[in-house]
Structures are given as structure tokens and as C-alpha cells.
Chains A and B, each alone.
Chain A
Amino acid sequence: MNILEFSLFVWVGSFTAGFLGSLTGLGGGVVIVPLLTSVFGVDIRYAVGASLVSVIATSAGAASTYIKQGLTNLRLGMFLEVATTLGAIVGALIATFVSVKALTLVLAIVLLYSAYLSQQTRPERPNLDSSDSLVTYLRLNSSYPTPDGLMSYQVHSVPVGFSVMLIAGVLSGLLGIGSGAFKVLAMDQAMRLPFKVSTTTSNFMIGVTAAASAGVYLARGYIDPGLSMPVMLGVLPGAFLGARVLLGAKTQVLRTIFSVVLVVMAFKMVYNSLTGGL
């Protein structure tokens, strides 16, 4: 396969990943790495570098729109970034001395977990009054626009959310993914934010989290321009198209398709790494 054909196929694959990732709210990164390694036979380190770049691009692009709509909680995002950036630095350092086999295994587990999570319907919890002094001090409570007008919400269990964000950061640095699934877990389940706020705030943080590990990846030669180019140029428009389509799509069907893809890729990666070839 020459570079032209390779770039074209990778572009199509990345576009699809960006589209599906945006529709399901899990992000394209979680699919890009297994796509590049198991379908295109790319070394996982190059794949992780290219994925990381595409994650920064989609995060920044989408965050720009969401912030303008007033959905993103900037203060909460910036506060939790302390946890994710520290985690990401640790993750990126671990990635440089951990074996490819171990990386593959961790990614497979994250894939399976993401598949499980994308099948869950997330019940909107009633937003009870909280009088946490930390929340008040950091002014984390805010409001967001809904069809019925501006709705206020309160933030709960900041320490739990902060700890889960540390883990999300480590995974992000280790695997070059946004680990949106874990971020949403922390903000939906623990901190009890409304969906739209947790999804958009998680997206806002992903860019900085990824940038924290980008330095390490760049210095070690993981970020290859020839591979990152079609990945980034594919994921970005794919994600934007996904966000547009999201309004009218039957997301349950897509979620199921996406989960099946994740599970198949997870098993293929484990099989490949056990049989020796990648």
C-alpha cells in the first residue's frame, strides 16, 4: 500500500470514528487507536500519538461552540483539570516504560467498559440542595440554558469527582484517548450534573488533559506527521457532522452498533497480542 492509498483509507476510517464518537458522546479517540493498530497494522505508539492529536482538535473545536451556548461550566472544568493534567503526566510517563502488550490489555479493558457504559441509559438525578463549603468557595454552582429558560444546578461530591478525574487523566496519558467515558462517569454519577453540562464540560477539559501528555509523546517521536495528518483531518469533520446529525438521529441503534464495534476490537486486540503479532 502506498502513502496515498494508506492516507485515504485512514482518512475514511477516522472520519467514521469521529462521526460515531460524536454521536455516542464517547469521542473518536477510543476507536482510533484500535482501528489503526488492528485494521491498519500501525504500531500502537504511533497510533496513540495520532489519536491524541485528533482528540485535542475535536475537543477544542466542539468546546468553542458549547462555551458560546453557555453549556460548559468553565470554573468546574478548570478546577478538575488540576486532577486530569497531573494524571495525564503520570500516565504518559508510565506509557514510555510499560510493554506494548500491557498497553494493549489496558486499552481492551477500557474499550469493553466504554461499550458497557454506552449501553447504559443515564437517569437524570434530581438535583438536591447541597451546602458544601468547597463548592461555594470555588463558585462551582452555575446555570445552563434549557428550552424552558435558564436552569440552575448544584455540584455534589467534589472529592469523589476529583479522584475519578485523576484516573481518567492517567488513562488519557497512557492511551492517548480522551477517556470521556470516565469523565462523564465522575460528573454524571458522582457530581450529579445535568447531561449537557457534564458532556460539554468533559469535552472542554479533554484538550488540556491531552496537551499534558503531548509533550512527552512529541519528545519520544510518537507523533508522526504523515499518520496524524489524515487522522486529524478525518476525525474533525466527522465529529462536526455527528454533532449536527445528533439532533434527529435514532441514537439507540447507533449506540448498539458502536458497542459491538468496541467489543469486537477489544477481543481482536487481545487475540493479536496473545498470538504475538500486532
Chain B
Amino acid sequence: MYPFNFNSQQSSTLPKVSSETNVTKSLCDRQLEQFISNLLKYGVLLASALVLIGGILYLIRHGTEPADYRFFQGTPSELCSLRGVVTAVLSGSSRGIIQLGLLILIATPIARVAFSFLAFLQQRDFAYILVTLCVLAALIYSLIGAYA
């Protein structure tokens, strides 16, 4: 049914076919997979923990105030930049803590691209050095461009 079906009976043909079509994952690729998997997991866990802590404080302090998102005013500008968020966290603002969690969350996939770039650099895999560099440049452009 499938041209290449590597089950246990056919495993003797595996090395030959894979060297022709490049289908097996190299050790480097497996290591990169492991690393990225862990990076994403701990990034999300850290971000969620901060959002949860900030959220509980926020509900305790502001839970009885009226909720109004009907009209767009924009999030206060001090919560829209990294420096502002850090200042807000240091002054104990619950919304600041949530926002810090959200910033870490946004940074997680960006860090994933950055580390992949470094891994490909180490492997001297030029096609993917270029690919990850393009993505990284676009991400950085969008972050910097937004505040310019």
C-alpha cells in the first residue's frame, strides 16, 4: 500500500532506502527535538504559573469592580512594553504579573527559533541557517517595528 513501510519484517531494508531518500532522523535532529520539546514545555508552565498567580491577586484585589471590555480604550501604555511591565511587577501590580507571564509566553516560540538557528549553525546546515534566520529576522522586525 505504501511505497516505504518500515515494519519489523522489512527492517533489513531500512538503511539502504533511507540513505537514498533521507528519511531517517539524524542524531542531531533527535537531540534538537528533545531540546525544543522541553523548551516549549517549561516556557508554557512558567508563563501559566505567573498568569495564575497574577490572576488570583487580580481577582482578590479587583474582583468586585465592574468588568467593561465593551469599548476599546487600549491597555494602559505602561503594560505595553517590557520595561513598563517590569516596573509594574516590581511595584506589585497584579495586572503587571499577568502581563509578564504573557510576555514570557510570547517569547517562548521566539526562543525556539533562536535556539534552532544556533543548532543549525553548529551543524553547518546552510539551508536551515538561512530559513531560521529569515523567521528570526521577521519576528524581531515585528517586535521592534511595533514600537518604532
Contact = CB atoms under 8 A, between A and B. Distances in A.
Interface residues of B, number: 83
B95 to A, nearest CB: 4
B75 A222 contact: yes
Contacts of B131: 78-79, 81-82, 138
B35 to A, nearest CB: 10
Given A74-B32, A74-B33, A229-B98, A215 B69 contact: no
Contacts of A227: 69
Interface stretch (A3-11, A243-251, A267-275): A3-11
A214 interface: yes
Given A85-B138, A86-B138, A224 B75 contact: yes
Contact of B67 (A6, A138, A211): A6
Interface stretch (A24-32, A141-149, A253-261): A141-149
A56 B105 contact: yes
A81 B130 CA distance: 12
Interface in A122-142: 126-129, 136-139, 141-142
A45 B70 CA distance: 10
B127 A137 contact: yes
B122 interface: no
Contact of B48 (A136, A222, A236): A236
B4 A152 contact: yes
B135 to A, nearest CB: 5
Contact of B71 (A2, A43, A64, A207): A43
Contact of A57 (B32, B52, B66, B105): B105
Given A85-B138, A221-B74, A216 B146 contact: yes
Main secondary structure of the interface of B (DSSP, over half): helix
A16 interface: no
Contacts of B134: 82
A127 B25 contact: no
Contacts of B138: 82, 85-86, 89, 212
Interface in A108-127: 126-127
B6 A143 contact: yes
Interface string B36-50: 111011011001100
Main secondary structure of the interface of A (DSSP, over half): helix
Interface in A52-66: 53, 56-57, 59-61, 63-65
A225 B128 contact: no
A241 interface: no
A182 interface: no
Given A1-B67, A3-B65, 19 more contacts: A3-B64, A7-B59, A41-B69, A56-B105, A60-B44, A67-B33, A74-B36, A79-B128, A129-B3, A151-B5, A208-B135, A211-B107, A211-B110, A222-B74, A222-B75, A223-B75, A223-B99, A225-B98, A236-B44
Interface of B: 1-8, 11, 17-18, 21-25, 29, 32-34, 36-38, 40-41, 43-44, 47-48, 51-52, 54-55, 58-59, 62-67, 69-77, 79-81, 95-96, 98-99, 102-103, 105-110, 112-113, 116, 127-128, 131-132, 134-135, 138-139, 141-147
